[in-house]
């Protein structure tokens, strides 16, 4: 097996004195990545390349030694792995446990209870937001309705995007999504038309 992947982060050191566990996991990653992908280059998961650039095995090994793995890459999705990985000693939950956190604060929230709602309108809006955090975006993804919005907010903060620019981006995404084709056949037809026009 490829060892405990927590060592990808805990075993890497800036001074280059990486732990034996880190070396084992890195070797396992490189063996896996180049076994899955036919060819001489694959995406580099170092903290600078972040799976955006193709490199040879030796280059990726050097990048990982110098820079370490990109954040939150315990599941090697860009290198053929699917689903969530459960490592020993790590508790992965499918949900954000918002209900439990509110209960810990003494609010005693049970959004699954039957019966009439006794919450004020603002609390109802918040409950709808919590429901969106559990509802999948569509059948072809594991993303929930709330995840893309939180990622957009994270990008906004990370790159210091103004509110006006952010609103314009969200409006553009909304315009694109509203005009989506009604079915897969129409989607394929639209893609073929686009390719014919743009690729001649």
Per-residue pLDDT of the chain (200 residues; tens, 9 = 90+): 345 788 888 888 888 888 899 999 999 999 998 888 777 888 999 999 999 888 999 999 999 999 999 998 888 888 888 765 544 444 444 445 555 665 555 555 555 555 445 667 777 777 777 777 777 777 777 777 777 778 888 888 888 888 888 888 878 877 776 455 556 566 666 666 666 666 65
Q: Using CA atoms, how far apart are residues 5 and 87, in angstroms rounded to an integer?
A: 7
Q: Among residues 21, 44, 79, which one ends one of the domains? A: 79
Give me the helix-helix angle, 163-178 and 146-158, nearest 10°: 150
For 73, other C-beta atoms within 10 Å of its C-beta total 19
Q: Using CA atoms, how far apart are residues 33 and 38, in angstroms rounded to an integer?
A: 9
- Asked if residue 11 and residue 75 are part of one domain, the reply reads yes
Asked whether 68 and 26 are in contact (CB, 8 A), the reply is no
Q: Using CA atoms, how far apart are residues 47 and 67, in angstroms rounded to an integer?
A: 6
Q: How much is the pLDDT for 68?
A: 92
Q: How much is the pLDDT for 148?
A: 79
Per DSSP, the three-state class of 42 is: strand
Within a domain: 44: yes
Number of domains in the chain: 3
Closest CA to 135 of 94, 92, 100: 94
Q: How much is the pLDDT for 122?
A: 75
Within a domain: 119: yes
Sole residue written with tokens 């315990």: 74
Q: Using CA atoms, how far apart are residues 169 and 163, in angstroms rounded to an integer?
A: 10
Q: Among residues 118, 145, 172, which one ends one of the domains? A: 145
Q: How much is the pLDDT for 179?
A: 54
Phi, psi angle pair for 29, to nearest 5°: -60, -50
Structural domain including 65 reads 7-79
Q: Among residues 28, 47, 79, which one ends one of the domains? A: 79
Within a domain: 157: no
Within a domain: 2: no
Q: How much is the pLDDT for 49?
A: 92
pTM, 2 dp? 0.42
Within a domain: 33: yes
Find the DSSP H helices in the chain. Answer: 7-10, 20-36, 57-67, 98-104, 121-132, 146-158, 163-178, 184-199
């Amino acid at each position: 097996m490829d060892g405990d992947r927590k060592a990808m982060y805990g075993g890497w050191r800036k001074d280059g004195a990486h732990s034996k566990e880190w070396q084992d996991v890195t070797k396992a990653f490189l063996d896996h990545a180049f076994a899955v992908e036919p060819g001489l280059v694959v995406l580099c998961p170092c903290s600078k390349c972040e799976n955006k650039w193709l490199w040879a095995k030796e280059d990726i090994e050097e990048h990982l030694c110098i820079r370490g793995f990109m954040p939150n890459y315990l599941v090697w999705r860009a290198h053929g792995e699917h689903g969530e990985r459960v490592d020993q000693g790590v508790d992965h939950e499918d949900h954000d446990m918002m209900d439990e956190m509110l209960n810990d604060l003494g609010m005693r929230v049970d959004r699954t209870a039957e019966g009439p709602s006794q919450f004020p309108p603002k609390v109802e809006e918040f409950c709808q937001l919590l429901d969106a955090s559990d509802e999948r975006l569509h059948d072809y993804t594991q993303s929930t309705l709330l995840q893309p919005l939180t990622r957009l907010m994270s990008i906004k903060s990370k790159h210091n995007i103004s509110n006006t620019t952010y609103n314009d981006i969200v409006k553009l995404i909304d315009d694109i999504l509203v005009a989506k084709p009604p079915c897969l056949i129409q989607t394929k037809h639209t893609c073929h038309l686009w390719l014919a026009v743009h690729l001649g």
